[in-house]
Amino acid sequence: MRLDKLLGELNIGTRSEVKKLITKGRISVNGSIVTKPDEKVDEESALITYEGREYRYKKFSFYMLNKPEGILTANTDSDTPTIMDLLPKELRNTHFSIGRLDKDTTGLIIVCNDGELVHRLLSPKKHVDKKYLVTIEKPLNDTDIKTLENGVDIGEKNLTAQSKVEIIDENNIYLTIHEGKFHQIKRMLKAVDNNVLALKRISLGGVSLDRNLQSGQYRELTDQEIKTLYEN
């Protein structure tokens, strides 16, 4: 792969930016400075060094974001900030979120550039777990819990798939679902005469939101977290 293209893939900069870095001798490959942008390198084995930091090429990359309220789950929008405004700008045209969160919903968003994995995890046939912390208007009774877990009528042809309710206290529950219907959790609680006051996704496909990530912060997924996604 051309060195300038590789540096772009590593999100070091745009094609024009990395060309300048290379010609100025600020990039080394396997310990040697390279000054030609079109220099061919083996991306599988090359160790790139820039400003004291080492980079290795990975075909796919994965990021975890703690989404704040008021942010759209989209790559671009002319009026409202999106999740990509919180991530490195170089990801905007190459990475996509695994599922969506409503504008007023917070918590775990995972973005990656493996389109096949995204498609597979979003397939209704996969029944991928999505766990939410839900703040509700009033306590659930036993009948409410049974209804939510066994399937509830939210105005569609079929009842919702089976879910799992875990009571934290009178106004907070964990709710694990396997679907991703429009405003699904809000509609489920409405169906048992309740209302959602706050909603936060805390896990997706076995990957949990890092408790050290503040609202609006992100980090790359660990190798184990990536493995967990592929095992779904």
Q: What angle do CA 214, 216, 219 make, to 5 degrees?
A: 75
Instruction: For residues 60 and 54, give the distance between their C-alpha atoms in angstroms, rounded to a whole number.
Output: 17
Instruction: For residues 12 and 65, give the distance between their C-alpha atoms in angstroms, rounded to a whole number.
Output: 20
Give how far the C-alpha of residue 127 lies from the chain's centroid of Cα atoms, to the nearest Å.
17
The answer to whether 63 touches 220, Cβ cutoff 8 Å, is: yes
Q: Is 102 a catalytic residue?
A: yes
> Which residues make beta-bridge pairs with 164?
176
The residue from 42, 79, 102, 142 that is catalytic is 102
Spell out the residues 6+ positions from residue 176 whose beta carbon is closer than 8 angstroms to its own: 129, 130, 131, 132, 163, 164, 166
The answer to whether 136 touches 192, Cβ cutoff 8 Å, is: no
Active centre residues (catalytic): 102
